[in-house]
Amino acid sequence: MSEANDKNPPKVFISYSHDTPEHKKWVGEFASKLVAHGVDVILDQWDLGLGDDVPKFMEKSVGEADRVLMICTETYVRKADDGKGGVGYEAMIVTGELVKNLGTAKFIPVVRQENGEANLPKCVSTRFWVNLSDGQNEEEQFDHLARDLQNAPKLKKPTIGPNPFAESAPSASPMEAVTATTPTPATGVRVPNDPTDAYAVALDLARRGDFVSWRHLIKRVKQPIPAQLSDWQKRYVNRHEMKIEDLPAMVLEAAAICAPLMSVALAGVESGQPKFSNQVALLDDLLCPKDWNGSGLSAVVEVPDALVFIYQALHGAVCMESDQLPLALQLARSRVQRRHQGESVVVYQDSKLIGWPESLAGHSKVAWKFLADLSGKWPWLLETFETTEDYQAALFAYYLALNTQELVDLIASGREAILEKAELRPDVPLTNHLLAPDIRRKGYRLLLRTPEAVRQIWRKEGIPDKKMAAHWEAWMRHCTQSLNRLDRFGFHGQVAHEKLFEDLRPEP
């Protein structure tokens, strides 16, 4: 899908600040030029009438648009960072509720500043941008933008040719044959069994927007997993007991079968592309494998819980690394249903899915160590995180967000009175505080990277900042008590996000 589609033109919303009459005129001319290039533009100058509700217009426009162009003048950037006026409201949408469904690649900074400098709002400071400032090769930059909106790149990636050394290459060993890739007849896309290769193929498809090939890749990668899990389970079916120290290796064997599927899904998350970033459906595949035997040793039978535990944690870490906190919480708050059970459960509210899977001894320390060490077992994770420390910091940031979400749900349900109890055990494990202090500090900074996204955790539930802050001290007290119970020598230090409300950037 590399050519423009005249029948379904891309819909674009232009977000800008009314700096001067001249700037407003430039925006109108810019919008008209996009329309002439086959783009359906939503612009307040054309689509907002007298008496219309401005915030609703903004929210509706951002929601309906395929892409949002943020015209980053100096004034726009200042207002967006300060949260002032209509621009501030639009920036809140960018970093808040809508991003969790739409992915961060939807928002394109368009620089329009003196001397061609590129000062961007903090919420999109890491995003790829175009420069339409005077004297910055505007025509070339506009052509790049228009082609990107139409999914018609000027330079196309060449098709991979045949291996010229295939005749002389040595025969593959049985192990190499397992990790080899196979062609997909329908689309020509390779179907890899190795998670590292699967990740690379999936990320390339997502970045190119090839959703047809992506879906075919998912189906083909998913297809052998139930049978492989069934074969794995048969090796343990006659076990009557297992030592605790043997459980992580057992779970790793099962998880390795699902690793290619997990890597494809996580590549979609990392891409930030709207069609590829929502991976909630994968939870059902992991939790309810086809032909799964429900009889036998519980540590074996309950392995699907451990698979969901692993995936939700990796998903959350990738979201934190790619600045998609709302997307992480969307999956954590989704409902899943186990086989042969009537009621569904919220992922992060189920102890076996969030920190105490029975297949990992039902112990949060064993489970957390398994997660923390996973990048050493699965090197493909470092394609996203680069270093083990980055990976562990992202995991830490995700679980801090879950801890905050737990308090939000408690307040939203009207149960905040239980905070006055002498002892309250949080459902989300705080075992992540066993990480080294420097990694905890790095993870906390990662959580605070987009302050507005953090505030949206409670604001989207209608909880004012003051009410959340009023209950925060009591919540932190319970978290500290939980950590003291975790460490028989007592927890020395403070909960990493204890000063959250002091550290969030103040609003005017």
The 3-state secondary structure of 27-66 reads HHHHHHHHHHCCCEEECHHHHCCCCCCHHHHHHHHHHHCC
- CATH number listed for the domain at residues 11-149: 3.40.50.10140
* Residue range 412-423: mean pLDDT, rounded: 89
Q: Is 421 helix (H, G, I), strand (E, B) or coil?
A: coil
- Mean pLDDT computed over 328-341: 86
pLDDT attached to residue 175: 32
pLDDT given for residue 5 in this prediction: 47
**Of 183 and 346, more confident:** 346
* pLDDT band at 2; cut points 50, 70, 90: very low
More confident residue, 173 or 321: 321
- pLDDT for 186 beyond 60: no
Average pLDDT over residues 469-492: 81
172 and 239 Cβ atoms separated by less than 8 Å: no
pLDDT higher than 80, residue 364 = yes
State the Cα–Cα distance between residues 123 and 102, nearest whole angstrom.
15
Residue 341 has pLDDT above 80, yes or no: no
Average pLDDT of span 405-426: 91
User: Which sign, positive or negative, has the C-alpha torsion 363, 259, 387, 350?
Assistant: negative
> Is residue 99 over pLDDT 70?
no
- Statement: residue 246 has pLDDT above 70: yes
C-alpha span between 367 and 119 (Å, rounded): 43
Q: Band of the pLDDT at 102, cuts 50, 70, 90?
A: very low
Buried b (16+ CB within 10 A) or exposed e, 279-290: bbebbebbbebe
Give the least confident one: 18-32, 127-141, 214-228, 246-260. Answer: 127-141
Q: What is the rounded CA–CA span in Å between residue 279 and residue 276?
A: 7
Compute φ and ψ for 37, nearest 5 degrees: -100, 20
Taking alpha carbons only, the member of 503, 445, 448 closest to residue 472 is 503
- Strands 107-111 and 130-131 turn out to be parallel
Q: Is the Cβ–Cβ distance between 360 and 248 less than 8 Å?
A: yes
Position 39: which residue type?
V
- Residue linked to tokens 């589609």: 5
Most confident range (mean pLDDT) of 13-17, 126-130, 292-296 is 13-17
Q: Between these two residues, 94 and 429, which has the higher pLDDT value?
A: 429
Q: What percent of the chain has pLDDT over 90?
A: 43
Measure the CA–CA gap between 353 and 427, rounded to whole angstroms.
11
Q: Measured between alpha carbons, how far is residue 199 from residues 190, 214, 259, 309, 452 in Å?
A: 12, 12, 10, 20, 31
Interval 162-174 mean pLDDT:
52
Listed range (77-81, 226-230, 333-337) with the worst mean pLDDT? 77-81
Average pLDDT over residues 117-142: 81
User: What average pLDDT does this structure show over 306-322?
Assistant: 95
pLDDT at position 173: 35
> What mean pLDDT do residues 295-316 have?
93
Residue 179 pLDDT level (bands cut at 50, 70, 90): very low
Q: Which of 179-183, 212-216, 226-230 shows the lowest per-residue confidence on average (mean pLDDT)?
A: 179-183
CA-to-CA distance for 218 and 225, rounded, in angstroms? Answer: 11
158 or 435: which leads in pLDDT: 435
The reported pLDDT for the residue numbered 465 is: 93
Average of pLDDT values for 327-341? 87
pLDDT top residue among 465 and 339: 465
Residue 313 has pLDDT above 80, yes or no: yes
pLDDT at 410: 94
Region 127-146: what's the mean pLDDT? 86
Q: Whole-number mean pLDDT of the chain?
A: 83
435-444 average pLDDT score: 93
Q: Give residue limits of the domains in the chain.
A: 11-149, 179-328+370-378, 387-508
Is residue 198 predicted with pLDDT exceeding 90? no
pLDDT at 475: 94
